[in-house]
């Protein structure tokens, strides 16, 4: 992997998300005006009602596998085959991620399987949230 994967550039609206990720915490926002629903990606208003009264909170980090593809083509920073996944967080929102600690095969990657967040530092400022299968107790 000669090159690194594309890294995000935080904006004023998303900086709290990336600062939390740097501390290995997954933070989301929710509406503080009634509905209380969590939302993603970050913005300074509730996407349902438009209220600017919102708050950040620490999410559980629990999710299930909603959908994915397994890319077999080379891409900077990736060793194919690798899965590009969308997970559904317990709090409701979905986010794109990679699944780690798991074979990148259709047999290992089962839709609706339980996952939990793990963090991988990419640079001084950027740590990405990945997800890994929850192993049986």
Figure out which of the listed residues 34, 36, 41, 114 binds other proteins, where binding follows CB under 8 A: 41
The nearer residue to other proteins, 96 or 134, going by C-beta atoms, is 96
The nearer residue to other proteins, 69 or 134, going by C-beta atoms, is 69
Residues forming beta bridges with residue 62, ordered by sequence position: 116
The nearer residue to other proteins, 73 or 137, going by C-beta atoms, is 73
Binding status of residue 100 toward other proteins by CB under 8 A? no
* C-alpha to C-alpha distances, 5 to 67, 78, 110, 123, nearest whole angstrom: 21, 7, 25, 11
Q: Distance between CA 123 and CA 25 in Å, rounded? A: 16
Binding span for other proteins by CB under 8 A among 24-32, 52-60, 92-100: 92-100
Q: Distance between CA 95 and CA 86 in Å, rounded? A: 5
**Core vs surface per residue 93-111: b (16+ CB within 10 A) or e:** bebebbbeebebeeeebee
Figure out which of the listed residues 2, 6, 50, 136 binds other proteins, where binding follows CB under 8 A: 6
Figure out which of the listed residues 24, 51, 54, 71 binds other proteins, where binding follows CB under 8 A: 71
Binding span for other proteins by CB under 8 A among 23-31, 56-64, 74-82: 74-82
């Amino acid at each position: 992997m000669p090159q690194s994967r594309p890294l995000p550039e935080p904006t004023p609206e998303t900086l709290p998300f990336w600062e939390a990720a740097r501390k290995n915490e997954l933070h989301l926002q929710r509406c503080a005006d009634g509905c209380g629903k969590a939302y993603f990606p970050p913005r300074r208003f509730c996407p349902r009602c438009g209220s600017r009264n919102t708050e950040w909170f620490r999410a559980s980090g629990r999710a299930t596998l909603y959908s994915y593809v397994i890319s077999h083509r080379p891409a900077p920073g990736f060793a194919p085959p690798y899965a590009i996944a969308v997970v559904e967080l317990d709090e409701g929102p979905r986010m794109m991620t990679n699944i780690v600690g798991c074979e990148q095969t259709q047999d290992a990657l089962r839709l609706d399987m339980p996952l939990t967040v793990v963090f991988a530092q990419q640079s001084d400022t950027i740590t990405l949230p990945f997800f890994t299968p929850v192993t049986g107790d």
